[in-house]
Amino acid sequence: MSTDAPRLRTLRLVVEYDGTEFAGWQRQAGQRTVQQCLEDAFATMTGVAVGVRGAGRTDAGVHADGQVASVELASRIPALGFLRGLNSNLPRDIAVLDVADMPAGFNARRAARGKIYRYLIWNHPVRSPRRARDTWHVFAPLDVHAMREAATLVSGEHDFRAFRASDCERKSTVRLIRRFDVRREGALFTCEVEGTAFLKNMVRILVGTLVAVGRGRMTDATIRDLLAHGDRTRAGMTAPACGLTLAKVIY
């Protein structure tokens, strides 16, 4: 039997989670986070501490269908073994959907070429208990056609400084939105946005602004002015975290 130490490997994980009871992705002292749960599961399996890097740092309450993470570790456990073992050691609100060996140096965040976020709105006079964890309940009627037009205006490359959190630390606020779709099926609105990268709270502020348009509180002229002058105080509210899901990371 060989006594050689196991080689250093890079694994890629695809992770799904319900963010309701998490303080976000990133490990924080005294807080329950997705990163912490994954790192604890790896430690249970391997007996050593490892760092799990996510493609994006989702905020508290935000969900993921296709978060991607990478980890470097020395272990002979096959990828399928990690898939089964991690899921047996993770809480019910996190699941690892796929584990694959990657070339050395793969980094889930740096290698990403874009992300797709999905935001759900329950537009009905009565709240939906079954959708409470993954939708924003907006009881006033929304004009889906006006919202689609506003989404068209913010698509493309723009300076999105009016659509970021006050504590956002990114130096450049220019971003490219490849597409921004607004669909309605009965009371359920789906806002899906694909872009190369996003500022802190950018998607939630864009959705909050579209809802203001849909309620007749803002116009297309307001959207153009926001893009031209970058006044955050004139944009819509930051939509609640519960409606937002990181749907896919693009490579």
2 has a pLDDT exceeding 60 = no
pTM of the model: 0.94
Where helices occur in 140-239 by DSSP H, the ranges are: 144-154, 202-214, 220-229
Give catalytic residue positions: 59
C-alpha to C-alpha distances, 13 to 22, 25, 64, 143, 194, nearest whole angstrom: 19, 14, 13, 39, 21
121 has a pLDDT exceeding 80 = yes
The pLDDT value given to residue 7:
86
pLDDT band with cut points at 50, 70 and 90 for residue 6? confident
pLDDT band with cut points at 50, 70 and 90 for residue 3? low
H helix or E strand, kind and range, residue 34: helix 34-46
- Cα 21 from Cα 120, distance rounded (Å): 18
Query: pLDDT of 151-199, one tens digit each?
Result: 999 999 999 999 999 888 788 999 999 999 999 999 999 999 999 999 9
Question: Which domains occur in the chain, in start order?
Answer: 8-102 (3.30.70.580), 114-250 (3.30.70.660)
The pLDDT value given to residue 157:
97
Say which residues have a Cβ less than 8 Å from residue 201's Cβ, sequence separation at least 6. 59, 163, 164, 165, 168, 238
